Amino acid sequence: MKIEISKDWCLRMAQREGDAEIGAGRLAIDPVFDGERIPADVAEEESPNVAFGRFVNLMRRQRGMSLEQLADDADVDMADLVEAESDPYHRPELRTAYQLANYFKVPQAGLMQVAGLAALKDARLFDEGVRFAARSESTAELTPEEGAALEAFVAVLSEQK
Amino acid sequence: MTVEVTEVHLMDVASGESVAAELWHVITEEQLADWEGEWVPELFRAMQRLRRAGVERAHWPQSRHWDWRRKVAALQGMLANPGFSIVCDGATQGMMIVDTVKHRGRLDGQQGQHLVYVEFVENAPWNRAELFDPPRYRGVGSILIRAAVALSEELEFHGRIGLHSLPQANGFYANTCGMTDLGADPDHEGLRYFEMTPEDAQAFIAKGRSK
């Protein structure tokens, strides 16, 4: 395909364009997930969710990994991961929760519920999530108690189909 | 692999001078390596700055989670989904993937007509004023849209193009490109759909010729 674009055209249009944003395309992380939607019954919920971020934080620290390493190894967006760990109001991308579930070898359905991306099917998961968040401390080095809390929560998660 | 290249120019914001650049009619592994090695780390650092500055997430770049490697793997291998990229100063400055088959005109008088649909287009982080002050280069968006128009003409779609703009870019497509805003599309995450008619395409090209 032949295109001729003169220098003058480029510069005039650059001036007209100025500092405008130019992004276009679906918001979904990649075409693989374009078809997936957050269910309507959970999409509007804005309640804080400490358990998911704490879970990711402890699983990461248990492995001695930095956020960057985890993002790299689990193939997730680093910014989404940072927000997931630090902002209880942040709802992670579907793909992030999906990838992390695979990486940490916990059931996707359970982690989706914990992440607030799927309707909660088991009330016990919510209670255990709250208990887990209460028991663990996000900034300290992983203590034996945190390790135990994490393992207990993983056990409950693993029961989810 | 032979890469078809068109000579173009970008504006260096710091100096106000033009800089020679290349419009590649493809997205290659070189661009994807730039995305991983240059764009993603810059974007992450920019996110950290926005976070520290207390900027609300709603004002962060909406394309921050895009994965170009996956997009290209899923789309560009198909004949119907060619890609374009702009290279300047040894780095990728912008990328675009289009679709030439699946989409049709929606505007009155254009309904059912073939068009080139812009699946994804994005500027390098350092060219984005909301992330870098001052940004490095201007003009990436206009050149990529010009390429979409040229492809539309080549395919005898007469310059018709369509796209769903990210909210922060609505002004660019409405004002700089002169596309018609058909409103929020509930089937595309509520993004606004913009369309360029053959007449709009000629007007867009003429804009760059008039002082």
The ipTM (two decimal places) reads: 0.94
Pull the structure tokens for residue A119.
């309707």
pLDDT of residue A47: 60
**Structural domains of chain A, count:** 1
Angle at CA B79, nearest 5°, toward B77 and B81? 75
Q: Is residue A44 part of a domain?
A: yes
Q: Is residue A106 part of a domain?
A: yes
- Residue B135's pLDDT is 96
Q: How far is A27 from chain B (nearest CA, A)?
A: 7
Q: Which domain holds residue A140?
A: 27-158
- Give a yes or no: residue A129 inside a domain: yes
Write the pLDDT tens digit of every residue in A12-69.
999 999 999 999 998 754 433 433 444 545 444 556 677 888 889 888 988 988 888 8
d(CA B52, CA A105): 33
Q: Is the pLDDT reported for residue B112 higher than 90?
A: yes
Residues of B in contact with A83 (CB under 8 A): 57
Distances from the Cα of B26 to the Cαs of A30, B37, B75, B147, in angstroms? 19, 19, 12, 11
| Cα distance between residue A142 and residue A119, in whole Å | 30
Q: Does residue A159 register a pLDDT over 90? A: no
Residues of A in contact with B120 (CB under 8 A): 24-26
Say whether B65 and A77 touch across the interface (CB within 8 A): yes
Hey, is the C-beta of B8 within 8 angstroms of any chain A C-beta? yes
**H or E element: which one contains B177?**
none
* pLDDT at residue B183 tops 80: yes
Q: Angle B40-52/A78-86 helices, nearest 10 degrees?
A: 30
User: CB B139 to CB A3 under 8 A?
Assistant: no
Interface of A with B (CB under 8 A): 1, 3-32, 77-80, 82-83, 90, 93
What pLDDT score does B34 carry? 94
Q: Is A10 a member of any domain?
A: no
Domains recognised in chain B with CATH numbers: 5-207 (3.40.630.30)
A84-103 pLDDT per residue, tens = 888 878 888 877 888 888 88
Confidence of residue A161 (pLDDT cuts 50, 70, 90): low
Residues of A in contact with B51 (CB under 8 A): 82
Asked if the structure places residue A68 within a domain, the reply is yes
CA–CA distance, A53 with A74 (Å, rounded to integer): 15
pLDDT confidence of residue A31: 37
Nearest CA in chain A to B68: A30
- Mean of pLDDT values over A123-127: 75
Q: Say yes or no to pLDDT of A137 above 70.
A: no
A21 CB neighbours in chain B (<8 A) are 61, 123, 128, 130, 166, 168-169, 171-172
What CATH number does residue A88 fall under?
1.10.260.40
Indicate whether A117 belongs to any domain: yes
Question: Does residue A122 fall inside a structural domain?
Answer: yes
* Rounded mean pLDDT, A132-153: 73
By CB neighbour count within 10 A (0-12 exposed, 13-18 middle, 19+ buried), where does A110 fall? Answer: buried
Task: Reply yes or no on whether the pLDDT at B149 is more than 90.
Answer: yes
Q: Residue A4 falls within a domain, yes or no? A: no
